[in-house]
Structure 1
Amino acid sequence: MPEAAESVFVSYVGADRAWAEWVAWHLREAGHRVELDVWDWRTGDNFVERMDHALGRATAVVALFSSSYFDRARWTREEWTSAVARRRRLVPLTIEPLDGGEVPDILAAVIRKDLHGLDEQAAITALREAVAGPTGPLTAPPFPGTTGAAAPSVDAGGVRPRLPGGAGLPEVWNVPRRNPHFIGREATMTRVREALLAGRQAVVQALHGLGGIGKTQLVLEYAHRFASQYDTVWWIDAEQADQIPVHYTELAARLGIAAPGAGTGHTTRTLIEHLRTRERWLIVLDNADEPGAFETLLPTGPGHVLITSRNPGWKDLVPSHGLDVFPRGDSVAYLTTRIPDIATQQADSLADGLGDLPLALAQAAGVITTGMTPDRYRRLLNDKTTRLMANGAPPGYPAHLAATVDIATARLSNAHPQATELLRLAAFLGPDPIPTAWLETTVGRLATLTVDPDDFMWPQSALQHLSRSGLARVDHETFQVHRLTQAIVRDHTGEADATAAEDDVTTLLTAIAPSDAVDPVGWPTWAALTSHLTADLHTAAQHPPLHETLIRAARYLCVSGQSRAARDLTAALHPLWINALGEDHPDTLGIAQYLGHATTDLGTDAAARHIIEDTLERRRRVLGPDHPDTLNSANDLAITLDNLGEYEQARRLHEDTIKHRRRILGPDHPGTLTSANNLATALFGLGEYEQARGMHEDTLERRRRVLGPDHPETLTSANNLATALFGLGEYEQARG
């Protein structure tokens, strides 16, 4: 290693990775120690820690200045500011022309070296001089009297990166125009690039995901970003597999290897054989949805193949990457970049309504920038989803989302009607994952699903077709339909079919709901169920069989500590049921009880008191003073009075409630034991420690026997007894 060797950290943005690889490779070849994140950091490493350590070790930080480098949302800001703060030598290299205002004032006086616009040899010289100081020529100057020969081609397999952008686009190139609004996906881009560089033989990578997820946009960005690393880049619309030989024949003609008069089959074989002996080529098969049709059509050799598909079946044939919706941060970044003056909170709300789907975000940005406010678009999205999603296809996308869904559902309906039935049912559930076990449990009870009782592969066969069509994301336990796809399918469902689907959803959710909302054994089911119960409360309010399930869901949210969710659910349902059922209906009073519960749990006892007193008065009048529901409300009011400091009144109400519960329900009923626990707690608050201790001991023994030692209410009694013992000074016994 030369004496002047530096320890170099390369600072860059993801869009400039090709430049970073080229710079790092040539600096290492020159003898410098170079740290590049995508070469030297492992999956799972803490990015911030690795960056901090790398900057601590570096004697020089090479910063690749581009228009994206100074974006405030980039980590590059932390990198160059840390380099300045640590007094590390900053080596700025500009890789594209910059406006004067893009570079921060603190860096304006730092001498920069331009790499853009140079040929590769000049760029290598400029790079090495920037890091190590001026050097002599790297190659022998050509004899002045003759024209020098062309430089030899670089190594096969992408071992030595080419100068990015140095030679423009490859000579053989038919890629569509770059999307100027592409954003995000850097982690996926990195995984794809690393996988393609992992071997010297043909490397095939497939990206699969829902329609509108941005598969084509990611591959399009890859092709443009790394164009300089290829001699040939050929883009093929692969939706019709039988047309691939025609596209291969076009490529063969561009490469000059197509024999005159030869058929497409012969020319395809000639092309595949030719690519086996060539290097630096990229074939893109866009929208290749039938993996089985490509067995003999995938090129081999030291080049790259990228496939986009809705069909996850590619993962059985080639390495694949499943593409999901945008992370919320990318959605917000996209909207704030595309829409002038949109507030971050507005962008977040809009992204939430659009389910972070890239195509939907692009459509929304297109509409809003032509004269609609973000808030109005968000409001219209609630009940005009399909019309909004039918409003123009953004540049780079073949169709708007509504058309994309319509085409896919039409194909599915013609070929796989069972899958279409399942899609329609899912459209009337919530947008969260749906456990496939729910379908297996309720098979035969759902009128909208045509299922052969002897078909042991249902629903897996229907889900497989849904997945292949790109209309649902399926894993081994759940399936999920995007919220916008659901809305479009619902809008295109006739009134009779919609009513039947809503009835089946009611049947499904009531059948799945655990009978006990307090027992933690059922909480995982409640956690999955609640989001579907609450997806459309207006519809749920019109289906009385769901009312009891919704009331139990509210109780589950209360007892599991999800007080805000419980308050939101009950506060939404209560006025709906008042209008539909009346203020004194048992279901209205049931949801009012848990509205009071949740309000108390959130610490607003004064507001809770009004709700609980009103519910208690109505229940006494409608149900009678001894009804279990009336006693539930009396118990709730006693707790609220205790919280408000009205201890004697709370005590009297607790004593009256437990007396009624013992007589009506029995001494060991869970409700009676709840009152016993609450009365004992109130006694402890009044300083009657011995009496409180006795009641807590009795309640704990009964709960252990009735509910079991691990039930939450049993553990509550154990904790309360320990508190009472501590208050009596029996510290060791309380500790044990």
Structure 2
Amino acid sequence: MGAGYVFISYSRIDSSFVGELADHLAAHQIPTWFDRRISPGEYWSREIEAAIDSCSAFIMVMSRSARASRWVALELNHSASRNKKIIPLLLNGEVFFELNTIEYEDVSDGSMPTPRTMSLLKVLTDEGAPLAPMIRPTPMLPSPPFASKVWHVPPRNSLFTGREEILRAIGHHRRAAVGSITALCGPGGVGKSSIAVEYAYSQSAEFELVWWMDAGPSSSVHEQLAAMAHSLGLVEDFTELSSAAARTRNYLRRHGNWLIAMEDASNADKVLGMLPYGTGQILITSRDSRFHEIGTVIDVRTFSRQESVAFLKAQLPVLSDTEADALAAAVGDLPLAAAQAGGFMRETGASAGEYLDALEGHASDLLQLGRPANYPRSVATVIARSVDELRNIDPLALKMLKLCAFLAPEPIPVAWMLQAPSGTFSDALNASAPRKIQLRASVGQLVRLGLARLVDVDSAFVIHRITRAVVRDLLGAADRDVLHETVLRLLLTAQLDDLSNVENWALSAAIAAHIRYLGQVNADDAHYVNSQEFRTLLLDVARYLEVSGQGDLAQTLAGHAYTSWSRRLASALR
């Protein structure tokens, strides 16, 4: 027999599979240990801890019943605190949140571990230590600061940067009100969950219970509350889910000094049915900002440029300040996009210049790569999922998003959308409802799904430059041609002729920013940028800039137009 053995953590409900697993490992000369070896009368907790302390590897059989087991949670946390090699096997249910950064094997069909895993286990038990990880080193699971605490929170982000003002605000809301509810709201990729995790760790000494819940559309509230009940020691392993959940709610109502984080809440209505009311603190993360009626909303935005540069240089110390600034600008200071840029460059050895060149024409593909281990989805996936959801619930909002993806990454006046030519959105409008109300509601849907952000006291909205790039990449060539022509028709509605009326200047300034931007795009868009109508628009913008006291900008725009048009004319005459 080799120098070590494999500890198997499981729920008693899964004993049949575990017995087959142990027999399979034994047939390959891999010793195992699991709790059937404990003799009657032995001190259970001490025996288990000693077995984990001495094992060479730790197999976690993940299942719904294991997720709800208090003892399984204790075993898993203890194995991580001893820095054991954890090998997860998914029997049923979902991958444990604490293990979502580790490669796992799906054994839901009753299959045994693959030859690759068997070879690794053989090495571990023969030698007593791993020669190489399966994908990456097993992360340490968080251990509660005090042994009396109940703790269920994802791993901390070692590269967490900035956000001090938001962290202080969350703490202030807790001190200002008993039973406070704070919602961190913003588009996907701005780092809402990272902020919530950082707050949990930084304030852990203030709470006796800290628990992370998935509040997404497919999440099960009862299962998660039942798991909490097991960890609190309120129920036995075979207690019915609804009963275990009810005991958790009663416990939270009677006790204070707890923090519950609810990630990816789809809307306030669902959260209301999930809230464990009491005197503790509830921290919500959501793309939807409609939580004002149940708590305090904090609008989470992108990094400041200083935070972006610091974050990128923390990942890649070799970056110069100039390179980091250029990368930050290209990803629009979006934290997840910055994390992926750093991850991709670190993994591939690509330079900042190479990444910027690739991002220009292949944003959707590139932003699927370099995802950090502590982010469950890439920024491209986050945006694509929101677009798919929009396709199902609001075709008008989807058409508006596609159209705006070809405008500048600047505020888009809602009034401009309301003035759009009648044919712009006609195929997506409901004939029985007022056009103005439908367009306003669709802007709201874009904001709710994190695809846009309201600015200027709700008079305009802005689409992030990364969202624009991914949406454009998702379109086919035919769709792009149609949208180019639609953009031109929309631009032609711009009212820039009455420049003597100062009241028109605010709207004119916003529209002019988009016309100026499109006047500088590349030759791929020449079929409308080079049209006589668009040239007239550019000249109108130049006149507006001159009249409104922005002569330098007017001269720069006119000079660029003159150079570009002269070059194209000379090329056409050859």
TM-score for both structures, normalised by structure 1 = 0.54
Question: 2:403 matched to which residue of 1?
Answer: 425
Q: How far is the alpha carbon of 1:221 from its aligned partner?
A: 0.7
Instruction: Please give the per-residue CA displacement for 1:392-427, whole angstroms capped at 9, x wherever unaligned.
Output: 312321111111111111122122222211111111
Question: 1:494 matched to which residue of 2?
Answer: 476
Instruction: Please give the per-residue CA displacement for 1:632-672, whole angstroms capped at 9, x wherever unaligned.
Output: xxxxxxxxxxxxxxxxxxxxxxxxxxxxxxxxxxxxxxxxx
SS at match of 2:451: coil
Q: How far is the alpha carbon of 1:242 from its aligned partner?
A: 5.3
Counterpart selection for 2:226 from 249, 258, 262: 249
Counterpart selection for 1:464 from 444, 450, 474: 444
Alpha-carbon spacing, 1:385–1:518, altered in 2? closer, same or farther (3 Å): farther
Instruction: Please give the per-residue CA displacement for 1:340-382, whole angstroms capped at 9, x wherever unaligned.
Output: 2322222222211111111111111112233122233223322
Question: 1:128 matched to which residue of 2?
Answer: none
* Contact 1:241 1:293 survives alignment (8 Å): no
Alpha-carbon spacing, 1:505–1:351, altered in 2? closer, same or farther (3 Å): same
Listed as ranges, the matches of 1:580-729 within 5 Å are 580-582=568-570
Question: 1:515 matched to which residue of 2?
Answer: 497
SS at match of 1:283: strand
| Number of corresponding residues | 420
Q: How far is the alpha carbon of 1:583 from its aligned partner?
A: 9.2
* Contact 2:341 2:370 survives alignment (8 Å): no
* Contact 1:541 1:573 survives alignment (8 Å): no
* Contact 1:238 1:285 survives alignment (8 Å): yes
Question: 2:517 matched to which residue of 1?
Answer: 535
Letter in 1 for 2:544: Y
SS at match of 1:205: strand
Question: 2:120 matched to which residue of 1?
Answer: none
* Contact 1:169 1:227 survives alignment (8 Å): no
* Contact 2:179 2:278 survives alignment (8 Å): yes
SS at match of 2:176: coil
* Contact 2:144 2:150 survives alignment (8 Å): no
Q: How far is the alpha carbon of 1:302 from its aligned partner?
A: 2.1
Question: 1:364 matched to which residue of 2?
Answer: 341
Alignment of 1:549 onto 2:526: no
Counterpart selection for 1:558 from 546, 567, 571: 546
* Contact 1:179 1:395 survives alignment (8 Å): no
Q: How far is the alpha carbon of 1:571 from its aligned partner?
A: 3.9
Q: How far is the alpha carbon of 1:441 from its aligned partner?
A: 1.4
Listed as ranges, the matches of 1:286-435 within 5 Å are 286-370=263-347, 371-435=349-413
Letter in 2 for 1:464: G
Question: CA–CA distance in 1 between the matches of 2:352 and 2:402?
Answer: 30
Counterpart selection for 2:201 from 206, 209, 224: 224
Alignment of 1:444 onto 2:422: yes
Q: How far is the alpha carbon of 1:464 from its aligned partner?
A: 2.3
Alpha-carbon spacing, 1:170–1:320, altered in 2? closer, same or farther (3 Å): farther
Alignment of 1:258 onto 2:235: yes
Question: CA–CA distance in 2 between the matches of 1:387 and 1:360?
Answer: 12
Question: CA–CA distance in 1 between the matches of 2:305 and 2:558?
Answer: 28
Question: CA–CA distance in 2 between the matches of 1:485 and 1:556?
Answer: 30
Please, what is the CA RMSD of the aligned residues?
2.4
Letter in 2 for 1:418: L
Letter in 1 for 2:564: L
Unmatched segments (≥5 aa) in structure 2: 1-142
Letter in 1 for 2:474: H
* Contact 1:392 1:399 survives alignment (8 Å): no
Question: CA–CA distance in 2 between the matches of 1:421 and 1:338?
Answer: 37
Alignment of 1:473 onto 2:450: no
SS at match of 1:305: strand
Question: CA–CA distance in 2 between the matches of 1:497 and 1:264?
Answer: 49
SS at match of 2:428: coil
Q: How far is the alpha carbon of 1:255 from its aligned partner?
A: 0.5
Question: CA–CA distance in 2 between the matches of 1:567 and 1:352?
Answer: 25
Q: Whose relative contact order is higher, 1 or 2, with alpha carbons under 8 Å and at least 6 apart? A: 2
Instruction: Please give the per-residue CA displacement for 1:424-444, whole angstroms capped at 9, x wherever unaligned.
Output: 111111111111111111251
Alpha-carbon spacing, 1:379–1:183, altered in 2? closer, same or farther (3 Å): same
Alpha-carbon spacing, 1:353–1:408, altered in 2? closer, same or farther (3 Å): same
Listed as ranges, the matches of 1:40-189 within 5 Å are 167-168=145-146, 171-189=149-167
Question: CA–CA distance in 1 between the matches of 2:266 and 2:145?
Answer: 34
Alpha-carbon spacing, 1:220–1:449, altered in 2? closer, same or farther (3 Å): farther
Larger Rg: 1
Alpha-carbon spacing, 1:452–1:316, altered in 2? closer, same or farther (3 Å): same
Q: How far is the alpha carbon of 1:581 from its aligned partner?
A: 3.7
Instruction: Please give the per-residue CA displacement for 1:81-135, whole angstroms capped at 9, x wherever unaligned.
Output: xxxxxxxxxxxxxxxxxxxxxxxxxxxxxxxxxxxxxxxxxxxxxxxxxxxxxxx
Q: How far is the alpha carbon of 1:517 from its aligned partner?
A: 4.3
Alpha-carbon spacing, 1:443–1:246, altered in 2? closer, same or farther (3 Å): farther
* Contact 1:286 1:308 survives alignment (8 Å): yes
* Contact 1:386 1:488 survives alignment (8 Å): yes
Question: CA–CA distance in 1 between the matches of 2:536 and 2:273?
Answer: 58
Question: CA–CA distance in 2 between the matches of 1:335 and 1:393?
Answer: 14
Question: CA–CA distance in 2 between the matches of 1:277 and 1:374?
Answer: 55
Question: 1:141 matched to which residue of 2?
Answer: none
Question: CA–CA distance in 2 between the matches of 1:487 and 1:448?
Answer: 25
Question: CA–CA distance in 1 between the matches of 2:559 and 2:337?
Answer: 31
SS at match of 1:234: strand
SS at match of 1:414: helix
Letter in 2 for 1:376: E
Question: CA–CA distance in 1 between the matches of 2:144 and 2:358?
Answer: 48
Alpha-carbon spacing, 1:257–1:185, altered in 2? closer, same or farther (3 Å): same
Unmatched segments (≥5 aa) in structure 1: 1-164, 586-736
Question: CA–CA distance in 1 between the matches of 2:342 and 2:289?
Answer: 29
Alpha-carbon spacing, 1:580–1:446, altered in 2? closer, same or farther (3 Å): farther
Identity %: 30
Alpha-carbon spacing, 1:173–1:167, altered in 2? closer, same or farther (3 Å): closer
Alpha-carbon spacing, 1:285–1:583, altered in 2? closer, same or farther (3 Å): same
Question: CA–CA distance in 2 between the matches of 1:394 and 1:226?
Answer: 24
TM-score for both structures, normalised by structure 2 = 0.69
Letter in 1 for 2:359: L
Question: CA–CA distance in 1 between the matches of 2:340 and 2:329?
Answer: 15
Question: CA–CA distance in 2 between the matches of 1:369 and 1:429?
Answer: 32
Counterpart selection for 1:455 from 408, 421, 433: 433
SS at match of 1:474: strand
* Contact 2:181 2:294 survives alignment (8 Å): no
Counterpart selection for 2:188 from 211, 229, 247: 211
Q: How far is the alpha carbon of 1:337 from its aligned partner?
A: 2.5
